[in-house]
Amino acid sequence: MSGWAQKRFWKEVTVAETVEGFAVELDGRRVKTPAKAALAVPTREMAEAIAAEWDAQTESVDPKTMPCTRSANAAIDKVTHQHTEVAAMLSEYGDSDLLCYRADSPVELASRQAAEWDPVLDWAEAELGVRLQPRTGVLHQPQEAAALAVLAEKTRAMTPFQLAAFHDLVGISGSLILGFAAASGWRSADEIWQLSRLDERWQEEQWGEDEEAQAAAEVKRQEFLHAKRFYDFS
């Protein structure tokens, strides 16, 4: 977000409907992205969330407190121009999906993975028409090409704003299927985030919690929850 004003110069933040969608205006002047493109978003709800972030700024502008603005900037400045590449990169997660790599021991961990992760694979089969196959161990074993092609097509079908959010849902969780599950509202975003941390939660139960690791995990959780919120705005 380089190039933004460091100090608040505006008094009023408003949302305006335009031919491109919905814009955010500061004292009547439209907000632009870091690449100087007009910040136009697809829904009023998203625009209002962005406007609230700008209105919440006090003397100095703090981009860290403006997640919706950052996501919109990414969608406009990056994903719109690299849609094919971003979709392809995310689709690759399906061939090494977190949910498909299972422990062979201890038995308790393997049983928990099956109990918590199999229902997501069942959902994907019913709703996405794809059944990814679990593997034991960490060595890569390719999934069926036809299944991966279906997931790739569904990923490519997303709008730039959806794909910007989906990028974080998949990247943070490490799972293409969990990304789809979160985007579709299969369960709450927090429940799906917890599923992505099954192995970490198991280690914490065995060895105790580490404060630094917990703090880092909470940052990622908040980012995951934001990504789901932004996807819903799209």
- CA distances to 63, 170, 209 from 110, in Å: 42, 23, 21
Q: How far apart are CA 202 and CA 183, in angstroms?
A: 26
- Give 3-state DSSP helix, strand, coil % of the chain, rounded to 5: 60, 10, 30
Q: Among candidates 98, 103, 97, which has minimal Cα distance to 206?
A: 103
Structure token digits, residue 122:
């069942």
What DSSP state is assigned to residue 63?
A: G
> What amino acid occupies position 119?
P
Q: Among candidates 145, 56, 31, 21, which has minimal Cα distance to 95?
A: 145
For 63-85, the pLDDT digits (tens) are 999 999 999 999 999 999 999 99
What DSSP state is assigned to residue 20?
A: T
For 131-159, the pLDDT digits (tens) are 999 999 888 999 999 999 999 999 999 99
pLDDT at 59: 84
pLDDT at 6: 67
Q: How many CB atoms lie within 10 A of CB 179?
A: 31
pLDDT at 3: 44
pLDDT at 2: 42
Contact 204, 197 (CB under 8 A): no
Contact 132, 124 (CB under 8 A): yes
Query: What are the residues whose beta carbons fall under 8 Å from the beta carbon of 65, sequence distance 6 or more?
Result: 53, 56, 57
Ranges of residues in the chain with a pLDDT under 50 are 1-4
Alpha-carbon 18 to chain mean position:
27
Q: Which helix (H) or strand (E) holds 147?
A: helix 145-156
